[in-house]
């Protein structure tokens, strides 16, 4: 792959997608019995499971906040999630992405409703293929909704990359590693509010503005898939309640 072109002359990426085309995305909710809320996403070849516990009493108690709940995120990659076996010990990148995901989700949660409590969010990457933070954020928002935690809006996320001089939507692993830039964005779509904006690499001012436009459009596509998954999940729950 290293010496092959990632984008053909007619604008088709090496995995068959167009420049602004997302990978197939499928969200599922409520599969973990012992979690208060859960979601699973298959995003291209990414497979990510999210569990939410809480709100519950903060422990240890000296960490409790008098006016709001604490949000704790643990992002972890399974040893078998990548091509070469990953060390089971937490890596620095996992700590960094835990913080990034927390900061992307926190603005959407009504944290002031649950003082002196903690909400724990566990993001487990079972298989990784690029843009796992974006897939993890989007799935975690659904897990929070499944847990019944009041939110201002869902959080939807996508990454824009610059590959062989062209801007592309929903960056895959090879595009991330060999591309010139990577820009993850997360938004609360109905609020038109950005909760995460990062960038590795360099873009011109015009490319940055164009990347933002492409990312917002991509986030709206993710948002639609999230809403469909929520509707399907709660409709199924309602049908089960009627049967019982």
- What is the number of structural domains in the chain? 1
pLDDT one-digit tens code per residue, 121-130: 999 999 999 9
pTM: 0.94
- Higher pLDDT among residues 228 and 62, named by residue: 228
> What residue numbers bound the domain in which 64 lies?
25-238
Burial 209-238 (b: 16+ CB within 10 A, else e): eebeebbbebbebbbebbeebbeebeeeee
Cβ atoms 155, 197 nearer than 8 A: no
Is 5 inside any structural domain? no
Q: The tokens of 225 are what?
A: 């898939």
Is 62 inside any structural domain? yes
Is 228 inside any structural domain? yes
| 103 pLDDT more than 50 | yes
Confidence category of residue 63, pLDDT binned at 50, 70, 90: confident
| 1 pLDDT more than 50 | no
- Domain with residue 160: its CATH number is 3.30.230.70
Is 6 inside any structural domain? no
Tell me how far apart the alpha carbons of residues 62 and 42 are, in angstroms, rounded to a whole number: 38
């Amino acid at each position: 792959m290293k010496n092959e072109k990632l984008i053909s002359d007619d604008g088709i990426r090496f995995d068959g997608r167009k420049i602004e085309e997302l990978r197939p995305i499928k969200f599922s909710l409520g599969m973990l019995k012992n979690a208060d809320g859960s979601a699973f996403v298959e995003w291209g070849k990414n497979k990510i499971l999210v569990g939410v516990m809480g709100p519950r009493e903060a422990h240890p108690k000296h960490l409790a906040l008098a006016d709001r709940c604490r949000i704790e995120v643990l992002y972890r990659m399974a040893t078998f999630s990548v091509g070469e076996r990953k060390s089971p010990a937490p890596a620095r990148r996992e700590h960094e992405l835990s913080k990034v995901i927390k900061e992307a989700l926190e603005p959407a949660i009504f944290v002031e409703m649950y003082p002196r409590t903690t909400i724990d969010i566990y993001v487990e990457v079972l298989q990784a293929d690029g843009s796992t933070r974006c897939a993890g954020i989007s799935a975690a928002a659904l897990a929070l909704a499944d847990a019944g935690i009041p939110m201002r809006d869902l959080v939807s996320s996508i990454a824009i990359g610059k590959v062989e001089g062209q801007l592309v939507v929903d960056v895959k692993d090879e595009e991330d590693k060999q591309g010139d830039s990577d820009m993850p964005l997360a938004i609360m779509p109905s609020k038109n509010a950005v909760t995460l904006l990062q960038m590795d690499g360099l873009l011109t001012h015009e490319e940055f503005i164009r990347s933002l436009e492409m990312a917002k459009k991509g986030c709206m596509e993710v948002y639609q898939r999230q809403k469909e998954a929520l509707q399907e999940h709660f409709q199924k729950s309602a049908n089960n309640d009627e049967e019982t």
